[in-house]
């Protein structure tokens, strides 16, 4: 079984999965609790994200995480893990299923605009991938860009970005079930 994880029900796009909640704390706790109760073959974390205007990305682009970076904990001293790589097999499957997707690091931050080292930011990715890593379950993060982080929230294209996920998720799940 593949566990599809998203922050909100809308981001699951009608597929069965785990709603982990918004933000890194909720995502980590909910995902860890779910993985303590079941042992999926893989975790696929999907959702919307923001991109920096200078990133070269466009709103509604798809991004496959080449690395997940916990931006809120990046410090000069190594206090805890701050980055994780996705499972190589899952990354390859995501690239095959979504050939036009960009493969880039995705920053996790609890604050909109809080990622300084990554061109793409969201609020749950590192938390979900860290919970999966601690449980020994391979994981990957897939995001649809809904906005530029510098723009007012009223301009964010959340419904359209979720529509992009609605198209991407079945292709991704089909590739992973081969």
In this prediction, residues 137-149 reach a mean pLDDT of 96
- Per the structure block, which two tokens stand in for 33? 């609790």
In 3D space, the residue among 157, 135, 164 whose CA is nearest the CA of residue 63 turns out to be 164
In this prediction, residues 114-137 reach a mean pLDDT of 92
Residue 38 sits in a domain whose CATH number is 3.40.50.1580
Query: Residue 24's pLDDT band (boundaries 50, 70, 90)?
Result: very high
Pairing between β-strand 62-70 and β-strand 139-148 as defined by DSSP bridges: antiparallel
Query: Residue 77's pLDDT band (boundaries 50, 70, 90)?
Result: low
- In this structure, the number of other CB atoms found within 10 A of the CB of residue 161 comes to 24
Q: What is the pLDDT of residues 91-116, one digit of tens each?
A: 999 999 999 999 999 999 887 877 77
**How many structural domains is the chain composed of?**
1
- Average pLDDT for the chain: 93
**The pLDDT value given to residue 12:** 98
**Containing domain of residue 39, as a range?**
2-176
């Amino acid at each position: 079984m593949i566990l599809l994880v998203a922050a909100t029900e809308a981001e699951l796009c009608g597929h069965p999965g785990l709603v982990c909640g918004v933000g890194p704390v909720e995502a980590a706790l909910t995902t860890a609790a779910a993985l303590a109760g079941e042992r999926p073959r893989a975790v696929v974390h999907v959702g919307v994200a923001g991109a920096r205007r200078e990133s070269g990305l466009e709103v509604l682009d798809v991004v496959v995480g080449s690395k997940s970076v916990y931006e809120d904990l990046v410090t000069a001293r190594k206090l805890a893990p701050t980055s994780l790589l996705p499972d190589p097999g899952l990354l390859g499957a995501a690239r095959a299923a979504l050939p036009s997707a960009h493969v880039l690091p995705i920053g996790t931050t609890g604050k909109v605009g809080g990622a300084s080292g990554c061109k793409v930011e969201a609020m749950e990715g590192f938390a979900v991938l860290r919970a999966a890593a601690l449980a020994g379950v391979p994981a990957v993060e897939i995001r649809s860009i809904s906005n530029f982080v510098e723009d007012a929230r009223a301009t964010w294209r959340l419904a359209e970005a979720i529509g992009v996920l609605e198209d991407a998720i079945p292709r991704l799940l089909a590739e992973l079930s081969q």
